[in-house]
Structure 1
Amino acid sequence: MSLLNVGARALLANQVALQTAGHNIANVNTPGYSRQTVVLQTVQGQFTGGGYIGQGVDVQTILRNQSELLTRQSAAAGSTQAADAVRAQRLSQLQEVFSGGTQGLGAAINDMMNAFSDVVSSPTDITARTVVLTRLDETAARMRTASDRINEIEYTVKEQLQSSVTAINSLATQMAAINEQIARATGNGQSPNDLLDQRDQIIRDINQYVQTTQIPADDGTVGLFVAGSQPLVLGSTAASLSIDDATTFPGSGQSKLFFNRPGATPVELDENVLGGGSVSGLLRFQNTDLSEGRNLLGRMALAIGMTMNDQQNLGLTLDGVPGKDLFAFPTSMPGHTNGAGVGTVSFTGPTQFAASDYEIRFTTGTAGQVVRLSDGQSTPFTSAANLATLQIDGLNFNLTTPGNPGERMLFKPFSTAANNIQALVYSPRDLAAANPINAAMGTANGGTMQLGSLKATGLPNPPGLVLPANANPAAIPPILGGIQLQFTAGPPTTYDVLDRGTAPPTSLATAQPYTSGQPISINGWQITLQGTPKTGDTVVIGNALDPQYGDAYTRNAGNANALMGLRDVKMFDESTLTDGYAGAIAQVGTRTQSAKFAEQLSSTIAANLERDRTAVSGVNLDEEAAKLIQYQQAYQASAKMIQIAQNIFDSLIQGLGR
């Protein structure tokens, strides 16, 4: 009977080994499966006078081949890789918005500015004026198209965030159920290997969305925590996550991840402590990268629109009226807060704009500081009235109701500018190509001085454009009109400024230094003279609508030339108008390349750790095939042992029966 028992035990043990090897082979492609190994142990021998006689073998346990350390490291690395990958993918989409080539926004801006050259050459040419208006409309349309594309990207990001959170909640519920099964199964003293594999795979899947911390419990369950301390799964209970607008700045477009527990207020999670996972990458992209792209585009739309409007307003149309705005865009933007503060930001200095959002942080009383979020630079203020007097990066912040100490307000000055920009001038006659002033060199001048340029700037002291007075020949004595510059040869060469709008002319300034090629600015207009004057040489600057000049203003393209000259004005972080778009491309491109490099690095690390994990846990078909043969032979030998024991028993029975 002992031989029969030994054979039976061996047969059963080798059957389990064969079944386990088959189980490994069957699950070679199952995600998260860990190779299992049968652990055999010798049955305690039976003591006899001749020593201990062996009684065979038993199955001690089915061992799950896995490394807890490698499993956790692989999950964490995969989480980081998922965050980097989704951010790099989305940044590539944003980079496409800021594309170059003939179909890009940069080409449209260059074509718009260059179109003024034909108007400069022929101010009364309706066709040339029409081309300018077409280019203006095309530039505005491309800005809106780029803004629409950014809005589309934002929409798909929010959709992906919602679907990711739904997947996380579903996986958390599954894990809680498996935790409960594991807790029950662990009570029998053996490890439920397949359930443990399923749970580890769920943890890896959750980490693809949001990085987690795992803490094992004594009952075999594992607690899963997000953002450091929020229990997503605790035992057999699962909480949930959701995506919603930021509570601190409602209506700002910022999205946040919230932790939800039944009967408790949702907890807003700081994206900076989320770690890895696609949700973290998407939130970073939406709240930071996409916001920067929108700011770059919006700043460009506002700066170009405002500077061109200002110059257009200084000129005269073909009908002799001051020019009206070329573009329409928002003139102010509201602040966002969940506190008591109410305020707006308005635009005053288009050449000083920084592509950034801003925060007002209230400290004591109504005092606080304005923080530029792109680099953290702050500007303090003592009160709302004091803040209203400050111009910060070409912006004015106006608080109708200050916030309480500790509260914050978020301002997004450029977020909708490109989306709302529109061309306003439709008639070519309404393009203000003419200067509102003209200049004439004295007929008796004897020096080499020549007119270099003349334009209205609107930036004199005192502020505003003050046109020279018209002539009035009927007055007694007659009034000639205009401003006269009268020169005295040097060294040093100087000039006097005379107002001919009075009789006799009034002296406005005397002995002003003259330098050839150096602009002379008076009352909102600017004249540049080249060459050397002689004593007594004069230049008269007159009102272009002075009746004595007739319709000469229609053949004047001074303001069109000034509009074209805006392409060389530095307004985008010391870049000119025409170079500003290239700068935006470079900023987005640099950020994209950095994200792609981070993705490549994290992908390599994740792949290496996963390879190390599978080296321990993965199924090797060659090894399992060899084990099948080994266990098959052992099984057959065990069966033979039982057969021999049966034959011996039969012989014994037959012998006793004689």
Structure 2
Amino acid sequence: MSLLNVGARALLANQVALQTAGHNIANVNTPGYSRQTVVLQTVQGQFTGGGYIGQGVDVQTILRNQSELLTRQSAAAGSTQAADAVRAERLSQLQEVFSGGTQGLGAAINDMMNAFSDVVSSPTDITARTVVLTRLDETAARMRTASDRINEIEYTVKEQLQSSVTAINSLAAQMAAINEQIARATGNGQSPNDLLDQRDQIIRDINQYVQTTQIPADDGTVGLFVAGSQPLVLGSTATTLSIDDATAFPGSGQSKLFFNRPGATPVELDENVLGGGTVSGLLRFQNTDLTEGRNLLGRMALAIGMTMNEQQNLGLTLDGVPGKDLFALPTSMPGSTNGAGVGTVSFTGPTQFAASDYEIRFTTGTAGQVVRLSDGKSTPFTDAANLATLQIDGLNFNLTTPGNPGERMLFKPFSTAANNIQALVYSPRDLAAANPINAAMGTSNGGTMQLGSLKATGLPNPPGLVLPANANPAAIPPILGGIQLQFTAGPPTTYDVLDRGTTPPTSLATAQPYTSGQPISINGWEITLQGTPKTGDTVVIGNALDPQYGDTYTRNAGNASALMGLRDVKMFDESTLTDGYAGAIAQVGTRTQSAKFAEQLSTTIAANLERDRTAVSGVNLDEEAAKLIQYQQAYQASAKMIQIAQNIFDSLIQGLGR
């Protein structure tokens, strides 16, 4: 009987080994499956006078081939890779908004500025003026399109965040249920391998959305924590996550991940402590990258629109009236608050704008500081009145109600500036191409002095543009009108400024130094003269609408030249207007390339760790095929052993029967 027992045990053990190898082969493509191995042990031998006689073999356990360290490292690396990949993908979409080529916003801006050259050449040409208006409208349309595209990206990001959180909550509930099954199964003393594989796979899946920390418990369950300490899964209990606006500034466009503790206020989790996962990558993109892209576009729209509006307002139309705004733009933006503060930000210096959001942080009393969030630069103020006098990056912050100490206000001056920008001038006659002033060299001048340029600047503002007085030939004595510059050869060469709007002319300034090619700024206009004057040489700057000049202003394109000259004004971080878009492309492109490099690096690391994990846990079909042959032969031998034992037993019975 002992031989029969040995054979039966061997037959059963090899049958289990064959079944385990078949199980491995069947799950070769199952995600998260860990290869299983039968662990055999010798049955304790039977003692006899001749020694211990072997009793065969038993199955000790089914071993799960798995490395806890590699599994955790692979999950963490996969989480980082998921965050980098989704951020790089979204940045690539944002980069497309700031694209180059003839269909890009930069080309539209260049075409718009270059279109003024034809108006400069022929100020009364209605066709040339119409082309300018068409270019203005096209630029505004492309800005709106770019803004709409950014809004679409933000919408899809928010939708993806919501679906990711829904997936996390579902997976967390599944893990809690599996934890409970594992806790029950662990009580029998054997490891529930397939359940453990399922749990590890769920953990890896969760880590694709948000990075977790795993802490095992004595009952076989695993606690899953997010953001370092918040228990997403604890035993058989799962807690939900949600996406909502930041609690500090609701409605500001800033999204946060919330941990919803049962019966308690949700805990806001900063994306900086989430580690990896698509949720972390998407939050970083939305709250940082997308904000920068929107600010770059909004700053460009406001700066270009404001400077062109200001110059247009200084010129004259073909009908002799001051120009009206070329673009519809916001004049101020309200701030969001986490307390009692109420205020707005207005735009005053378009050439100084920085593509950033701003925070006002109240410290003591009504004092505080304005912080530029892009780089952390702060500007202190003592109270609301003091703050209103400060121009910070071309912005003025006006508080109607100061906040309390410790409170904050968030201002997003450029976030929606490009949303509704549109051209306002539709009639070519309303393009203010003419200077509101003209200049004439004295008829008796003997020097080499010539007019270089003349334009209205409106600076300083206040007081803004003050036009020279008109002539009044009916007055006794007659009033000549205009401002006269009268030169003295020197050295040094100087000039006097005379207001000819009075009789006799009033002296406004005397012995002012003259340098050829250097602008002379008076009363909100600027004249540049080239060459060397002789004593007594004069230049008269007059009001273009002075009746003595008739309709000469209609053939003047000085303001169109000034509008075209804006393309060379340093406006965007020391870049000119025409180079500003290239700078925006460079900023977004640098972020995108950096994100893609991070994605490539994290992908390589994750692939290497997953390969190492698979080397331990993965199924090798060649190896399993070899084992099948091995166990099949052992099974056949065990069956043969039982057959021989049966024959011996039959022979013994027959012999005893005789």
- Common fold: TM-score over 0.5: yes
Distance 2:632 2:265 in 1: 61
Query: How far apart, in 2, do the equivalents of 1:462 and 1:38 lie?
Result: 90
| C-alpha contact 1:14 1:634 (8 A) present in aligned 2 | yes
Check whether the contact 1:461–1:522 (CA below 8 A) recurs between aligned residues: no
Equivalent in the alignment of 1:398: 398
The farther-off stretch of 456-465 and 593-602 is 456-465
Distance 1:60 1:339 in 2: 67
Asked if structure 2 preserves the Cα contact closer than 8 Å seen for 1:105 and 1:142, the reply is yes
- Are 1:216 and 1:223, in contact at CA under 8 Å, matched by a contact in 2? yes
State the match for 1:514 in structure 2. 514
Deviation at residue 460 of structure 1 after TM alignment: 3.6
The answer on whether the counterparts of 1:369 and 1:380 sit within 8 Å (CA) in structure 2 is yes
Measured after TM superposition, the shift of residue 329 of structure 1 is 1.2
CA contact (8 A) 1:7 1:639 kept: yes
**What SS does structure 2 have at the residue aligned with 1:487?**
strand
- CA offset digits 1:205-230 (Å, max 9, x no partner): 00000000000000000000000111
8 Å Cα contact 1:333/1:413 also seen in 2: yes
Tell me, which stretches of 5 or more residues in structure 1 are unaligned?
none
Q: CA deviation at 1:463?
A: 2.2
Deviations 1:514-559 (Å, cap 9, x if unpaired)?
Answer: 0101100000000000000000000000000000000001011000
Judge conservation of contact 1:461–1:523 (CA < 8 Å) in 2. Answer: no
Instruction: Note the alpha carbon deviations across 1:426-474, whole angstroms, 9 max, x for none.
Output: 0111100000100000000000000111100000486211000100011
Counterparts of 2:442 and 2:460, CA distance in 1: 25
- Cα deviation for residue 406 of structure 1 reads 1.3
In structure 2, the gaps of 5 or more residues are none
Cα distance change, pair 644–130 in 1 and its aligned pair in 2 (3 A)? same
| 1:92-111 deviation digits (Å, cap 9, x = unpaired) | 00000000001100000000
**Structure 2 counterpart SS, 1:478:** coil
Aligned match of 1:261: 261
- Could you say what secondary structure the match of 2:418 adopts? helix
Matches within 5 A, 1:55-454: 55-454=55-454
Structure 1 distance, partners of 2:401, 2:44, is 87
Distance 1:20 1:487, change over 3 A: same
Deviation at 1:262, TM superposition (A): 2.3
**Distance in 1 between residues matched to 2:462 and 2:179, nearest whole Å:** 78
Whether 1:480 and 2:474 are equivalent positions in the alignment is no
Where has structure 1 moved over 2 Å in runs of 4 or more? 460-463
CA deviations 1:238-264 (Å, max 9, x no partner) are: 001111111111110111101112222
Listed one character per residue, the Cα deviations across residues 8-57 of structure 1 (whole Å, up to 9, x for unaligned) are: 11111111000000000000000000000000000000111111111001
Aligned to 2:580: 580
Could you tell me how far 1:612 is from its partner in structure 2?
Answer: 0.2
Q: RMSD across aligned C-alpha pairs, in angstroms?
A: 0.7
Task: Provide the TM-score with structure 2 as the length reference.
Answer: 0.99
Q: Deviations over 1:386-443 (max 9, x none)?
A: 1111100000111111111111111110001111111000011110000010000000
In 2 relative to 1, CA 360–318 (structure 1 residues): closer, same or farther, beyond 3 Å? same
User: How far apart in 2 are the matches of 1:329 and 1:447?
Assistant: 47
User: Offset of 1:338 from its aligned partner?
Assistant: 2.3
The farther-off stretch of 348-357 and 646-655 is: 646-655
Contact 1:341 1:404 in 2 (8 A): yes
Deviations 1:141-161 (A, max 9, x none): 000000000001011101110
Deviations 1:628-649 (A, max 9, x none): 0000111111111111111111
Give CA-to-partner distance per residue, 1:285-325, whole Å, 9 cap, x none. Answer: 00000000000000000000000000000000111011100
Deviations 1:599-655 (CA, angstroms, capped at 9, x unpaired): 000000000000000000000011100000000111111111111111111111111
**Cα 1:106–1:569 shift into 2, 3 Å:** same
Q: Is the 8 A contact 1:472 1:481 kept in 2?
A: yes
Q: Bigger CA drift: 309-318 or 253-262?
A: 253-262
CA distance in 2, matches of 1:118, 1:318: 16
3-state DSSP of counterpart to 2:37: strand
TM-score, length basis structure 1:
0.99
* Cα distance in structure 1, aligned partners of 2:96 and 2:460: 42
Secondary structure, in 3 states, of the residue corresponding to 2:335?
strand
Structure 1 residues 424 and 494 mapped into 2: Cα distance closer, same or farther (>3 Å)? same
| Matches of 2:280 and 2:83, distance apart in 1 | 6
Distance 1:461 1:633, change over 3 A: closer
Provide closer, same or farther for how the CA distance between residues 461 and 365 of structure 1 changes in structure 2, counting only shifts above 3 A.
closer
Secondary structure at the counterpart of residue 419 of structure 1: coil
Distance 1:13 1:537 in 2: 118
Q: What is the CA distance between 1:477 and its match in structure 2?
A: 0.8
* CA apart distance, 1:496: 0.6
> What are the superposed Cα offsets for residues 460-510 of structure 1, whole Å, 9 maximum, x if unpaired?
486211000100011111100001000010110001111100011111111
Q: Distance in 1 between matches of 2:178 and 2:113?
A: 66
Distance 1:451 1:644 in 2: 123
Deviations 1:339-364 (A, max 9, x none): 11111111000000000111111111
Q: Is the 8 A contact 1:460 1:521 kept in 2?
A: no
- Distance in structure 2 (CA, Å) of the matches to 1:339 and 1:503: 62
Q: Measure the CA separation in 1 of the matches of 2:463 and 2:87.
A: 48
Is the 1:460–1:525 contact (alpha carbons within 8 Å) kept by the matching residues of 2? no
Q: Deviation per CA, 1:549-596, whole angstroms, max 9, x where unpaired?
A: 000010110000000000000000000000000000011001100000
| Matched residues, number | 658
Identity level (%):
97
2:110 match: secondary structure:
helix
The secondary structure found in structure 2 opposite 1:115 is helix
Q: What do residues 69-104 of structure 1 show as CA deviations (whole Å, max 9, x unaligned)?
A: 000000000000000000000000000000000110
